[in-house]
Amino acid sequence: MDKDDARKKNLLAKYRDEVEASCKRTKKCAKHLHNRRDALNSIEGNLAPFFANEICTYLLTKEDKRAIIEEMLNKYGLNNTDGNVTEQAVKKIAAELESFAGDNKAKAVSKFVASTLTHFCEENERFAEVIQKTPRTLSDCCADVMKNCGSAISDIDVYRGAVRHYFPNADVFFKMEIHITGDAPTEEEINRIPEKKPDPKPKRKKSDKAAAKASEKKDTPKPAVKPNPEVLQLSLF
């Protein structure tokens, strides 16, 4: 074995160790990466100093590196080629909205819930991962949210119930921002008296209605009786 072969063997072993360590870090990272693209990006960043070695670049071919990377991606379950977890969760929500089944109350909030869950998935990959792994559907979520709502429910309670369907111990807080623009109100606007609607006519009680009807009957004159027409019998003979 010549010097180059010995160096290459050592480099392959070191490269394998570096790639494996990078895959381990990728697997444990805060974003919970579970796909090939993000894993490769992470490996490339972690191995940048190693790639800078001229001897490594000269002795290790692309095929050598690719074989080791594929081995480690498969070993740590990072070879998912179906897109990242956020994309999968967003597609899952869209498909479940397309095939939504539920009563009128659940249907009324389905689009809003789907839109909000999609937004949460895009903001937080951990949230997306739970959505993607949960076998329950958007129909189940909306039915769960609306089952005890009665005849009305606030927006914040809908979104709170939707989140708790996937994260039972979570909560949702509503933040409102008021942007005051322009000049301060004038004295006239400050002292403006609100317009009052005229008071509605008081409803008469049933007893009053009955009395009014009775008085109307008494006051209504009876129609005059028409006299019977007079009959004249005439004889020509």
Name the burial class of residue 107, with classes exposed (0-12), middle (13-18) and buried (19+) by CB atoms within 10 angstroms of its CB.
middle
In the Cβ-directed half-sphere of 110, how many Cα atoms lie within 13 Å? 21
Q: Is 86 helix (H, G, I), strand (E, B) or coil?
A: helix
- What's the pLDDT at 115? 93
The amino acid that residue 154 corresponds to is S
- What's the pLDDT at 198? 78
Q: Which two tokens stand for residue 227?
A: 């006299």
Please name which of 70, 21, 62, 56 lies closest in space to residue 42, comparing C-alpha atoms. Answer: 21
- What's the pLDDT at 166? 95
In tens digits, the chain (237 residues) has pLDDT values of 567 778 778 878 887 888 888 777 777 664 444 556 666 666 766 666 665 565 566 667 777 777 887 787 777 776 654 457 888 899 999 999 999 999 999 999 999 999 999 989 888 888 988 998 899 999 999 999 999 888 889 999 999 999 999 999 887 887 777 777 778 888 888 888 888 877 777 666 556 556 666 565 555 566 655 555 444 333 333
| pTM listed for this prediction | 0.47
Burial 145-165 (b: 16+ CB within 10 A, else e): bbeeeeeebeeeebbbbbbbb
